[in-house]
């Protein structure tokens, strides 16, 4: 978790967007220190509450404000570049149809809101700085403003009253923006800000390609191979499900994966099936799982319990064509910056198709038949396996 979630290690496989994201990430965390000061000042009528950090000629507060301003500028720059990459350059993974509609709007709203918040911070500081230079009551000299000082000349000649209105209006814009963001984040893809840490902490640490086996099937095989093996009792209160048909059959970790998805598209960009034009998009698998989970949640809220809506994750949200296009190569798992595992959902739905609906593709059905009849995936009788040796 320290390396992947906090250190963003996997992001740096693509260094340019990783560096920009790091600037936004660090800015999001550290600028909140100045936001705390803003809240205290607004709540108690103080001015530059943390200015007591300037003492005995050591101007720590001035250094911090300058650092926050530079960081805010870098955040603004990073968000602007991200907007350009999405809407002007239109990188392939951001132009795919699975982002059409709300997902694309969601990303643009957050990036634009970040730029507005940082701009309000700069304008507030510029007005504050101008009021300090005017010797206005309450606005004593404190802070160093390496970015806002370039905005301050635009405010020259304005009255003290107008400057105070600008300074306090920007304060309200910033505070309302932050409070609005805290409510908005849980219904947007930016929920990953909170969930990426626990999601990475609970990552599957087994080697990639090592699939889990259904315990019920394992018990059956053990009983066939070892007559002395006694399988544990089966809970007959609920019908047994092989694989997953709907979100109720997925694990809590798979559902958390869906809510952690950042929709960055690195998984889809690395997917060999998608690269060859097939319908599969691992990003879309996670987005569809989340959409179905949201739909079920609304159903439960409305009816106090889940009322059958005649919909399922497989069929209504994810098609068989998508599932069978997957090569199980784990490229999507390897590329995900927060260790999401789309493959586990694909495999579980495939299990349902094979074990409950017998709906595997013809090529797989032939393989299954050969294994059942010949003990091998090839269409040869076991007695003919050594014929190749006798020819020599």
pLDDT at 217 over 90: no
Query: Is 324 a residue whose pLDDT tops 80?
Result: yes
Q: Is 152 helix (H, G, I), strand (E, B) or coil?
A: helix
pLDDT at 392: 58
Asked if 131 and 160 touch (Cβ cutoff 8 Å), the reply is yes
State how far the Cα of 350 lies from the Cα of 328, in Å rounded to an integer: 11
In this prediction, residue 230 carries a pLDDT of 83
State the Cα–Cα distance between residues 202 and 253, nearest whole angstrom: 8
The pLDDT of residue 227 is above 90: no
Task: Please report, in angstroms and rounded to a whole number, the separation of the first and last CA atoms in the chain.
Answer: 57
pLDDT at 287 (0 to 100): 96
Q: Are 289 and 247 in contact (CB under 8 A)?
A: yes
Cβ burial of 321 (10 Å; 0-12, 13-18, 19+) is: exposed
Quick: pLDDT tens for 92-146: 999 999 999 999 999 999 999 999 999 999 999 999 999 999 988 889 998 899 9
Percent of the chain exceeding pLDDT 70 equals 98
pLDDT of amino acid 56: 76
Neighbour-count burial for 26-46, b at 16+ CB within 10 Å, e otherwise: ebeeebeebeebbbeeeeeee
Contact criterion met (CB below 8 Å) for 314 and 354: no
Provide the CA 91 distance to its chain's centre, in angstroms: 18
Confidence band (pLDDT; 50, 70, 90) for 89?
very high
How far apart, in Å, are the Cα atoms of 333 and each of 125, 235, 372?
Answer: 44, 33, 32
Question: Could you tell me the residue ranges of all domains in the chain?
Answer: 2-187, 202-360
The H or E element containing residue 58 is strand 58-59
- Alpha helices per DSSP H over the chain: 15-30, 32-44, 60-87, 92-95, 102-134, 160-184, 192-201, 215-225, 252-260, 266-270, 272-275, 282-303, 320-325, 331-335, 342-355, 362-374, 387-390
Give the number of other CB atoms < 10 A from CB of residue 99: 22
Please give the Cα distance from 280 to 318 (Å, whole number): 9
pLDDT, average across residues 53-61:
85
Residue 77: pLDDT over 70: yes
Domain covering 202-360 in this structure, CATH number? 1.10.1060
* Model pLDDT for residues 259-279, shown as the tens digit of each residue: 999 999 999 999 999 999 999
CA–CA dist 148, 152 (Å, integer):
6
Q: Report the candidate in 254, 273, 240, 238 with the shortest Cα–Cα distance to residue 313.
A: 254
Model confidence pLDDT, tens digit, residues 3-27: 999 999 999 989 999 999 999 999 8
């Amino acid at each position: 978790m320290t390396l992947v979630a906090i250190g963003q290690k996997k992001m740096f496989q693509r260094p340019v967007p990783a560096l920009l994201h790091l600037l936004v990430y660090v800015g999001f965390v550290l600028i909140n220190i100045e936001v705390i000061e803003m809240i205290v000042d607004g709540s108690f009528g103080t001015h530059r509450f943390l200015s007591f950090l300037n003492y005995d000629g050591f101007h720590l507060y001035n250094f911090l404000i300058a650092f926050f301003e530079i960081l805010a500028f870098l955040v603004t720059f990073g968000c602007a570049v991200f907007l350009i990459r999405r809407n002007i350059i239109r990188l392939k993974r951001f132009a795919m149809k699975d982002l059409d509609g709300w997902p694309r709007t969601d990303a643009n709203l957050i990036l634009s809101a970040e730029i507005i918040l940082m701009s309000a911070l700069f304008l507030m500081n510029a007005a504050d700085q101008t009021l300090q230079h005017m010797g206005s009551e309450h606005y004593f000299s404190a802070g160093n403003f390496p970015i806002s000082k370039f905005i301050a000349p635009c405010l020259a000649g304005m009255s003290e009253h107008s400057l105070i209105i600008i300074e306090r209006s920007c304060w309200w814009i910033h505070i309302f923006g932050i409070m609005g963001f805290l409510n908005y984040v849980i219904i947007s893809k930016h929920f990953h800000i909170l969930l990426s840490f626990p999601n990475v902490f609970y990552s599957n640490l087994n080697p990639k390609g090592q699939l889990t086996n259904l315990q019920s099937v394992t018990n059956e095989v053990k009983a066939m191979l070892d007559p002395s093996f006694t399988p544990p009792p089966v809970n007959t209160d609920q019908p047994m499900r092989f694989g997953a048909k709907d979100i109720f059959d997925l694990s809590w970790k798979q559902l958390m994966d869906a809510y952690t998805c950042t929709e960055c598209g690195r998984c889809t960009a690395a997917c060999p099936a998608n690269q060859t034009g097939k319908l599969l998009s691992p990003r879309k698998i996670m987005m569809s799982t989340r959409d179905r989970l949201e739909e079920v949640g609304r159903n439960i809220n409305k009816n106090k319990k889940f009322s059958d809506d005649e919909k399922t994750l497989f069929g209504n949200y994810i098609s068989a064509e998508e599932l069978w296009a997957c090569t199980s190569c784990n490229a999507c798992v390897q590329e995900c910056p927060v260790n999401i595992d789309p493959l586990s959902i694909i495999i579980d739905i495939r299990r349902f198709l094979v074990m409950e609906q017998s709906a595997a593709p013809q090529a797989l059905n032939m393989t299954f038949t050969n294994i059942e009849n010949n003990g091998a995936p090839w269409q040869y009788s076991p007695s003919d396996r050594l014929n190749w040796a006798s020819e020599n």
